[in-house]
C-alpha cells in the first residue's frame, strides 16, 4: 500500500477530524509549531491547517517514530520541516531550537519539549500551547508558565478511548499477527489494572486467554476482582503463566527473578507506558535470537522464553497503532484544541488548564459516517 493510497483511505475515514478542520476557518497569519509523532494519521489535521493558509513548523517529539514521507508531504504543502527518522540526538536538539527561533505564536506538543525549553528563552512571544501527553503535563505542572497551556491528555474521551480500548486490542492483534498464536489454553497474566491493563485483560479474553490480574494497589486489585478476574500475587502467578504482559507505567515490574521463574516457552510482552517495565539488565540483549520478526528467544539453562520486541512497547513496535476510526476522535479533539488556542484560549491568563468541555465535546459528537466531509 503506497503513501497516497494510504493517506486517501485515512482521510476518507476521519470525518470528525475533517469537520473540526473545516471549523478552523481561515488560518492565514497563524504560526504553529508542532512537536508530535509524525505518523500518517496526523496528516489530516496538518494538511488542513496548511491548506487553509496556516504556517507550520514541523518537528517531532520522538525521532524513532518519524515517517519521512509525512515530512516530505507536509513540506510539499509549504511547511517548514526539520525532522527525519532516527535523527541524532544533536540533530533533534537543533530541530527543537530551530522551532523556537522560528518564533511561533502557538505550539502543539506531545511531551512539552518546546514549552519546557521556552522557559530558558527570555523575550519569547508564545501566545498559547496545547499538550497531549501525561509526561508533558507533569513536566509543565512544575514550570512557571508565562502563557496559557491547555491539557487534553486527561480528558476521558482521549485517555479512556486510547488506553482502555486501543492498547490491549492492538497488542493482541500484533501478538496474533507476529506469532500466529491465539491465547486459547494459555494463562495470561496481566500486570497492572489501570485503563491499559483493563483493556489488555478484556481483549485477551476475546483471543481465548484465561486471564489472571496481578496488581499491588488494593483498590485497583479489588476493581479487578469486581470485574470478575482471577487475581493473584505476581510471584504466584508467574510460574503458571504462558503469556505475561506488563501494563503498569512503572519500571522494572518484571525482574530477572521473575524471568527465571517462567515456564519454558512463555511469552513476555510490555504494553505499558514506559519502555523499561521489564528489567532486561541481566539479559544480554544481543544474545536473543530473533526467531520470528519482533520475537526474541532467550535460553535460561534448559528453559527458554520469548521476549516480544526485546521488551520495548510491543503495541507500538509491532502494530500500526490506534485504528483510523479511533484516532479520528483523538485528532478531532486535538483539532478543537488547536482552534481554541488560536482563538479564545489565547486570552486566558498564563497558567495550566484542562481543555474545556465546550471546546472538545462538539469534536466527539456523532457524525453521519456515510458522508465523509473530505469527499
Residues numbered 190 to 219 that lie near a second copy (CB under 8 A) are 202-203, 205-212, 217-219
Give the three-class secondary structure for 366: coil
**Angle (CA) 326 192 132, round 5°:** 40
Pick between residue 226 and residue 347 the one whose CB is nearest to a second copy: 226
> Is residue 27 a contact partner of residue 54, using CB atoms and an 8 Å limit?
yes
Residue 161 binds a second copy, judged by CB under 8 A: yes
Residue 93 binds a second copy, judged by CB under 8 A: no
* Nearest of 267, 275, 294 to residue 209 by alpha carbon: 267
Biggest CA-to-CA distance, the chain: 67
Contact range with a second copy by CB under 8 A, out of 59-67, 100-108, 251-259, 365-373:
365-373
d(CA 9, CA 375): 11
Residues numbered 234 to 263 that lie near a second copy (CB under 8 A) are 242, 263
Residues numbered 287 to 326 that lie near a second copy (CB under 8 A) are 291-293, 303, 320, 323-326
Pick between residue 140 and residue 237 the one whose CB is nearest to a second copy: 237
| Residue appearing with cell numbers 520478526 | 293
Nearest approach, Cβ of residue 204 and a second copy (Å): 8
Residue 67 binds a second copy, judged by CB under 8 A: no
Contact range with a second copy by CB under 8 A, out of 53-61, 104-112, 138-146, 264-272:
264-272
Nearest approach, Cβ of residue 121 and a second copy (Å): 37
How far apart, in Å, do the first and last CA atoms of the chain sit? 20
d(CA 338, CA 330): 13
Pick between residue 146 and residue 182 the one whose CB is nearest to a second copy: 182
Q: Which of 37, 165, 258, 340 binds a second copy (CB under 8 A)?
A: 165
Please name the residues in contact with 118: beta carbons below 8 A apart, sequence gap of 6 or more: 100, 124, 126, 146
Q: CA separation (Å) from 281 to 250, 304, 310?
A: 16, 17, 12
Nearest approach, Cβ of residue 31 and a second copy (Å): 31
Residue 181 binds a second copy, judged by CB under 8 A: yes
d(CA 253, CA 175): 21
Query: Which cell goes with 239?
Result: 510460574
Nearest approach, Cβ of residue 169 and a second copy (Å): 7
Residue 226 binds a second copy, judged by CB under 8 A: yes
Residue 356 binds a second copy, judged by CB under 8 A: no
Amino acid at each position: 500500500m503506497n503513501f497516497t493510497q494510504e493517506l486517501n483511505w485515512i482521510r476518507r475515514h476521519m470525518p470528525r477530524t475533517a469537520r473540526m478542520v473545516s471549523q478552523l476557518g481561515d488560518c492565514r497569519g497563524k504560526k504553529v509549531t508542532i512537536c508530535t509523532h509524525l505518523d500518517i494519521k496526523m496528516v489530516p489535521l496538518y494538511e488542513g491547517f496548511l491548506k487553509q493558509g496556516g504556517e507550520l513548523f514541523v518537528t517531532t517529539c520522538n525521532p524513532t517514530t518519524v515517517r519521512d514521507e509525512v515530512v516530505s508531504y507536509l513540506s510539499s504543502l509549504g511547511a517548514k520541516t526539520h525532522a527525519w527518522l532516527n535523527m541524532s540526538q544533536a540533530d533533534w536538539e537543533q530541530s527543537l531550537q530551530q522551532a523556537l527561533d522560528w518564533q511561533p505564536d502557538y505550539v502543539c506538543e506531545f511531551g512539552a519539549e518546546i514549552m519546557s525549553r521556552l522557559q530558558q528563552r527570555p523575550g519569547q512571544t508564545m501566545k498559547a500551547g496545547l499538550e497531549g501527553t501525561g509526561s508533558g503535563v507533569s513536566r509543565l505542572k512544575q514550570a512557571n508558565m508565562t502563557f496559557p497551556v491547555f491539557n487534553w491528555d486527561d480528558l476521558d474521551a482521549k485517555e479512556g478511548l486510547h488506553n482502555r480500548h486501543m492498547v490491549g486490542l492492538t497488542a493482541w492483534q500484533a501478538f496474533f499477527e507476529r506469532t500466529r498464536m491465539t491465547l486459547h489454553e494459555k494463562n495470561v497474566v496481566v500486570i497492572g489494572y489501570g485503563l491499559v491493563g483493563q483493556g489488555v485483560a478484556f481483549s485477551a479474553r476475546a483471543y481465548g486467554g484465561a486471564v489472571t490480574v496481578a496488581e499491588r494497589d488494593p483498590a485497583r486489585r479489588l476493581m479487578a476482582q469486581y470485574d470478575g478476574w482471577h487475581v493473584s500475587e505476581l510471584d504466584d502467578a508467574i510460574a503458571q503463566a504462558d503469556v505475561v504482559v506488563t501494563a503498569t507505567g512503572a519500571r522494572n515490574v518484571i525482574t530477572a527473578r521473575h524471568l527465571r521463574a517462567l515456564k519454558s516457552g512463555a511469552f513476555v510482552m510490555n504494553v505499558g507506558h514506559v519502555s523499561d517495565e521489564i528489567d532486561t539488565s541481566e539479559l544480554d540483549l544481543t544474545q536473543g535470537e530473533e526467531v520470528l520478526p519482533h520475537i526474541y528467544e532467550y535460553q535460561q539453562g534448559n528453559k527458554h522464553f520469548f521476549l516480544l520486541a526485546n521488551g520495548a512497547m510491543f503495541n507500538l513496535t509491532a502494530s500500526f497503532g490506534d485504528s483510523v476510526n479511533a484516532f479520528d476522535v483523538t485528532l478531532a479533539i486535538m483539532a478543537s484544541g488547536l482552534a481554541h488556542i488560536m482563538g479564545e484560549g489565547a486570552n486566558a491568563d498564563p497558567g495550566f488548564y484542562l481543555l474545556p468541555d465546550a471546546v472538545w465535546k462538539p469534536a466527539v459528537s456523532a457524525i453521519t459516517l456515510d458522508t465523509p466531509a473530505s469527499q
